[in-house]
């Protein structure tokens, strides 16, 4: 006999309504859980992440079950990105890393200059 009660299954329409309500009314996850009667502490944050990463359609994909041993992916997940999309994402990632490195160096130089000006006074 299984212990506890089984996880509740929510429809894609319900998930989308919850996430859009949360974003539109700027409610916290705790307030959303109370308003819609959701018992899970992480469900809504997972739904929001999926909504932002994959769009509303991502909430309609069934994600339960074990990962496939052959591909390492779960049911309903896309196996691979289009080659062009993958290249664009890699290029954007490299550009963002370079930007972060540049800003770190700039910040270090500004701090160094401020310390030198303090010493001169």
Q: What are phi and psi of 113, to 5 degrees?
A: -65, -40
Give the model confidence (pLDDT) of 57-87 as tens digits. Answer: 888 887 777 666 655 555 555 556 778 888 9
pLDDT at 113: 94
Higher pLDDT, 3 or 88: 88
pLDDT at 71: 57
Query: Per mean pLDDT, which range of 32-46, 59-73, 98-112 is the poorest?
Result: 59-73
Summary mean pLDDT of the chain = 84
Q: What are phi and psi of 119, to 5 degrees?
A: -65, -30
């Amino acid at each position: 006999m299984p212990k506890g009660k089984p996880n509740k299954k929510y429809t894609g329409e319900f998930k989308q309504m919850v996430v859009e309500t949360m974003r539109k009314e700027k409610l916290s996850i705790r307030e959303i859980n109370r308003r819609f009667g959701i018992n899970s502490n992480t469900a809504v944050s997972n739904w929001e992440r999926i909504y932002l990463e994959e769009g509303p359609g991502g909430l309609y994909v069934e994600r339960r079950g074990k990962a496939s041993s052959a591909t390492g992916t779960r049911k309903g997940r896309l196996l691979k990105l289009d080659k062009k999309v993958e290249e664009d994402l890699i290029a954007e990632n490299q550009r963002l890393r370079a930007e972060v490195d540049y800003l770190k160096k700039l910040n270090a130089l500004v701090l160094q200059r401020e310390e030198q000006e303090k010493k001169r006074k």
